Structure 1
Amino acid sequence: MLKKSITLFFLAVLCINCKTEKSLELNSANYSDVINKQFTGDLALETTAFVEKYWRVVGNTGFNKSIYKIAEELEKAGFIIEEKATKNDILTYRIEKRALKKPTWESVNASILIEGEIEPLLQHNTNRNMIALNSYSTPTEGITAEVVYIDDIQKLANMDVKGKIVFAETSPYQIFKAAIVDGKAAGIITYDNPDYLQPEKNTTSIQFRSIPLDSVHKPWAIALSYQAKERLKTALEYEKVELKVVVETNIYPSEELTIVADIKGSEKPKERLVFSAHIQEPGANDNATGVGVALEMATLTAKFVKQKEYQPKRTLTFLWGDEIISTRRYVQEDSIRAKDIKWGISLDMVGENTEKTGGTFLIEKMPDPSAIWTRGNDKHTEWGGSKMSLNQIKPHYLNDFLIDKFKAQGKRANWVVSTNPFEGGSDHVPFLMQNIPSVLFWHFTDQFYHTDNDRIDKVSKTTLKNVGTTALIAAYTLLNADENTARSVLSDLEKAAVVRLNEELKQSKIAINNGDALSTQIEIITAWKDWYKNSFETTKDLVSDAKIISKEVEKSQKLIDSITNEIEKILKQ
């Protein structure tokens, strides 16, 4: 009898525990707590380590292995390949295949030796960026030729470089025609590391370079590290220098692979949020980290869906492919689908150990007035941005909504989060070109950007976790947005507008004191007023019926009008 009672007791405890586990249902109140606990960063880091082993160009071995690694992990998580899926399957994926118009390329091996010396000038096993993209192989035994230093590339067209190796401190593209096509040089060697890479500190870094694909001349080009450049220049000071160069590459026909995973929405499946992470690039942070974070986001969401803890009302899509090209195709090839893409987010360089790289996590905003008048705390990165015009800005709540979510995670995790005005250059651009709200998550300045020192030791699991966690919190909020969400977003947006206008008042006072025209400052204030008034209007797309929050939107717009009027009075005093 006692034994039976004990058994019944344990069954009761198990039932209680089962009930507790089943009661977990993700909602806006617990997204942060649950996802912070469940998103470990383990799969993101493991995937980053796998992908970064390869020098990835669309169609080559490393790129394709990365695609199939993603597919393998998606299937483990419960995703079903589309051709085998039924209409009831929520988790699906597909691999799109297209023949490449041009052959793909991959580096295999290379070395440079100064004749008469024992220590190689450069070796591929320590500098995998030394071979310029699209270089052909030398003969197996290599090429030995005199190297000629060009201190003024304008003189190159009039120099006899036939059969010689042209060495210049510029991009290989800059001298390709004059050296290879016209000059019949044996090859090109260049040095072109920008200052933000701190080349005199990171002396072995090589930022990857490329040359035109030329099946006629079958050229090769080598990029030098600062250390190798200085050593070669020193050797040239004393005597004629001959180099033995061995280059081995593969150039072959291939296909372009893109992988797309969907988590189907339960109520509005045609509406979607798309995360895009490009695979090509040679590094770890750029962009194996984006690939890894997106994969863990997808698999964790699949886990929540299978356990019936979370069901998105709108579809969540993950896209992995060739930077800009795959994303552009996704938003252009199906105009009906594109109309229902509500948000696009690019994951690019999202896992940095900032103590090593020097970078800061950034949200690159949709084009707003800070991309026209960049002042105060708004600063462009060293990557740089072109000044925009008023007709290019895109008012929307997405900027401030995401900033709020990431600042909250920054506070929670003691993590630095910042922003930069729109600069372009990644997968957010194709979305914006189709008038789809989109931002970029990234890091800059990175002293190892595009160099062969961008390896797994520069990646932080903690950063991977912070970015992936917050991106999911934001995504789940948007995917299941309702009128309460809309009111909350509108309220936060109103607060952001007030803060911004007060900051712009401060900056305008400084500008006027420095002699700038009042009319210019009024133009800036007006631009921000219009930006926010129009951004308030966009919150209506979070509800099924715009009338639900129309009065709140109008009230916020009137408040901003009132504040702006007061600011203008102050500036005119």
Structure 2
Amino acid sequence: MIKKSILFFFCLIIISSCKEQKTLTQSDYSDVINKEFTGDLAYNTTSFVEKYWRVVGNTGFNKSIYKIESELVKAGYVLEDNATQEDILTYRIEKRPLRKPTWESVNASIFIDGEKEVLLQHATNRNMIALNSYSTPKEGISAEVVYIKDFKNISKLDLKGKIVFAETSPYRIYKAAIVDGKAVGIMTYNNPKYLQPEKNVTSIQFRSIPLDTINKPWAIAMSYEAKERLKKSLEKGKTTLNVKIETNIYPSEELTIVADIKGNEKPKERLVFSAHIQEPGANDNATGVGVALEMASLTANFIKQKQYQPKRTLTFLWGDEIVSTRRYVQEDSIRAKDIKWGISLDMVGENTEKTGGTFLIEKMPDPSAIWTRGNDKHTEWGGSKMRFDQMKPHYLNDFLIDKFKAQGKRVDWVVATNPFEGGSDHVPFLRANIPSVLFWHFTDQFYHTDNDRIDKVSKTTLKNVGTTALIAAYTLLNADEITAKTILSDLEKAAVNRLNEELKQSKLAINKGGSLATQLEIISAWKDWYQKSFSTTLDMVSDEKIINIEIEKSQKLIDSISNEIEEKLKQKF
């Protein structure tokens, strides 16, 4: 009996030890995270958030915040106010009064007088009511439509008591139509070509008007289909619209939720993932919210299982686009100086077959934002030509590109890049000289429209983005001298490839009449960018002497290659 008990106890020990989770190493990250990151929580969160038209302070925005909180608590995060020094997983909800009231759409319908079929209705076109529009009386408004083609002469028209219809932004004609002209409302259409409006005839890209507590105006954004119907009606003669709009405008507060996973060696140094909640769509940006939440939850699980412990702090930030991130960077200068990397998760779950938007890494400003050529292409969002003093040399660009290209190869997923364009949460980081990139998709034919719904989201894409972002994050958070040397070696290869590609592009440019001086300037700019990028790997080491020799070798190699390229160009041309 005693022997059997001993044997049973021994078996329990073996079984228990077999169940112990292996501590993750960098070589394990890809296999383990690919297995454990399912995309389920990211997708389910996206589905929850996308139900709401989200503006900071409104019902949908706030419900999204508390949904995130609920999931963080399930994952083991502790409210900061209740946390002890031993708690690694903490979160807080920051609350600030809004200077202006928040807004939400409730319902709307528009009929052409004499027609039974509705022209537009909120149930199927939830972007139709321009942000900051007030409600009409409950019985609605009936008024004649005035179609304005020439905006220069708008002040000469009698608009009082009428509805102004124009193919432009409602913001552009707001003052002339509402404030000066005393029109009762505005109907506008201006969907850009990349939305393919003649194909996606019901899409409406959301619009806004100024908040006006005196005139209490309203404006309606139209789909291509509705615009064409209204124009045909006007061609037949006088047209009257019956408009009913219901919105809520009320005082509120701004909520931001921040989750921290405290590093055990260098807790002040941190990587920040930012995902904005506001925007009315699924891909934009319920997907970013969902991916960040599953990343935070999975990391918490790894920590509880003692599989992973970051040396540096990992932070997740959910809030109002650019506003929350800018405040996070600016409000605490001591904290800001130790933010080593910032990454924006924005539109990260697209079903590319449906949207057309390819997954992109928007790079930190490099010379491709000055000379965009070859495989470097701006999106239809577009970007302004930058200057030398706006460049941000750093290893982060190529490091992340390598990680995502590896995932793309592993799962047959298309990963591309674009030169810096701006417009999301990576911008506040960059303005504070914090290395930062944007993960996104473009060109998306449903971007900012009410057809950006859950059916355009791919759980596979959510999984790929979240998985690779975590692989990269874990590598950076636990980076040391060995990591720095590996990244430096990869960066050197990227620099050589870039210079050879620029040589090819320079030859093509000169053959087409381009100036030799410009081509030499481009080669020099890339040399400078990479040589400075090599030096940034010092931020991963505790003793600079360990890697300084390798940095100097890489710099000399690139200097030699660029000099050879410049000589080749001079000799040939």
TM-score normalised over the length of structure 2: 0.98
Q: Which residue of 1 aligns with 2:321?
A: 323
Question: Which residue of the other structure, out of 386, 389, 399, is the alignment partner of 1:388?
Answer: 386
- 1:161/1:68 Cα in 2 relative to 1: closer, same or farther (>3 Å)? same
Distance 2:18 2:449 in 1: 50
Contact 2:21/2:305, CA 8 A, preserved across alignment:
no
Q: Which residue of 2 aligns with 1:18?
A: 16
Q: Which residue of 1 aligns with 2:83?
A: 85
Q: Write the mapping of 1:139-538 to structure 2, written as runs, cut at 5 A.
A: 139-538=137-536
Contact 2:55/2:279, CA 8 A, preserved across alignment:
yes
* Backbone CA RMSD of aligned residues: 1.1
Distance 1:157 1:546 in 2: 67
Distance 1:535 1:21 in 2: 43
Q: Amino acid of the residue matched to residue 49 of structure 1? A: S
Distance 1:439 1:10 in 2: 55
Distance 1:56 1:99 in 2: 17
Q: Give the CA deviation at 1:546.
A: 1.2
Q: Amino acid of the residue matched to residue 500 of structure 2? A: N
- 1:23/1:455 Cα in 2 relative to 1: closer, same or farther (>3 Å)? closer
Q: Give the CA deviation at 1:239.
A: 1.4
Q: Give the CA deviation at 1:34.
A: 0.4
Q: Amino acid of the residue matched to residue 51 of structure 2? A: K
Q: Give the CA deviation at 1:11.
A: 5.3
Q: Amino acid of the residue matched to residue 504 of structure 1? A: E
SS in 1 for 2:527: helix
Q: Amino acid of the residue matched to residue 252 of structure 2? A: S
Distance 2:7 2:360 in 1: 54
Distance 2:194 2:3 in 1: 73
Please give the per-residue CA displacement for 1:243-286, whole angstroms capped at 9, x wherever unaligned: 00001000000000000000000000000000000000000000
Q: Give the CA deviation at 1:17.
A: 4.0
Contact 2:285/2:347, CA 8 A, preserved across alignment:
yes
Distance 2:364 2:130 in 1: 33
Please give the per-residue CA displacement for 1:343-373, whole angstroms capped at 9, x wherever unaligned: 0000000000000000000000000000000
Q: Give the CA deviation at 1:154.
A: 1.5
Distance 1:12 1:490 in 2: 49
Distance 1:234 1:246 in 2: 22
Q: Amino acid of the residue matched to residue 442 of structure 1? A: W
Q: Give the CA deviation at 1:88.
A: 1.3
Q: Give the CA deviation at 1:19.
A: 2.3
Q: Amino acid of the residue matched to residue 491 of structure 1? A: S
SS in 2 for 1:214: coil
Q: Amino acid of the residue matched to residue 163 of structure 1? A: G
- 1:451/1:405 Cα in 2 relative to 1: closer, same or farther (>3 Å)? same
Q: Amino acid of the residue matched to residue 139 of structure 2? A: E
SS in 2 for 1:272: strand
Distance 2:180 2:433 in 1: 44
Please give the per-residue CA displacement for 1:71-104, whole angstroms capped at 9, x wherever unaligned: 0000000000000001111000000000000000
Distance 2:31 2:155 in 1: 64
Gaps of 5+ in 1: none
Q: Amino acid of the residue matched to residue 406 of structure 2? A: A
SS in 1 for 2:132: coil
Please give the per-residue CA displacement for 1:276-297, whole angstroms capped at 9, x wherever unaligned: 0000000000000000000000
Q: Which residue of 2 aligns with 1:63?
A: 61
Gaps of 5+ in 2: none
SS in 2 for 1:549: helix
SS in 1 for 2:275: strand
Distance 2:135 2:12 in 1: 66
Distance 1:143 1:375 in 2: 53
Q: Amino acid of the residue matched to residue 175 of structure 1? A: I
Distance 1:14 1:460 in 2: 43
Q: Which residue of 2 aligns with 1:30?
A: 28
Q: Which residue of 2 aligns with 1:545?
A: 543
Q: Amino acid of the residue matched to residue 452 of structure 1? A: D
Distance 2:310 2:332 in 1: 23
Distance 1:544 1:189 in 2: 61
Distance 1:339 1:415 in 2: 36
Q: Amino acid of the residue matched to residue 106 of structure 1? A: E
Distance 1:207 1:541 in 2: 43
In the comparison of the two structures, how many residue pairs are matched?
571
Q: Give the CA deviation at 1:20.
A: 3.3
Question: Which residue of the other structure, out of 41, 47, 52, is the alignment partner of 2:50?
Answer: 52
Please give the per-residue CA displacement for 1:464-491, whole angstroms capped at 9, x wherever unaligned: 0000000000000000001110000000
Q: Amino acid of the residue matched to residue 545 of structure 1? A: D
Distance 1:284 1:53 in 2: 8
Distance 2:51 2:33 in 1: 29
SS in 2 for 1:249: strand
Distance 2:136 2:391 in 1: 49
SS in 2 for 1:162: coil
Distance 1:461 1:161 in 2: 50
Q: Give the CA deviation at 1:12.
A: 4.7
Q: Give the CA deviation at 1:161.
A: 0.6
Contact 2:267/2:312, CA 8 A, preserved across alignment:
yes
SS in 1 for 2:488: helix
Q: Give the CA deviation at 1:15.
A: 3.3
Q: Amino acid of the residue matched to residue 365 of structure 1? A: K
Distance 2:15 2:521 in 1: 62
Q: Give the CA deviation at 1:314.
A: 0.1
Q: Give the CA deviation at 1:18.
A: 2.9
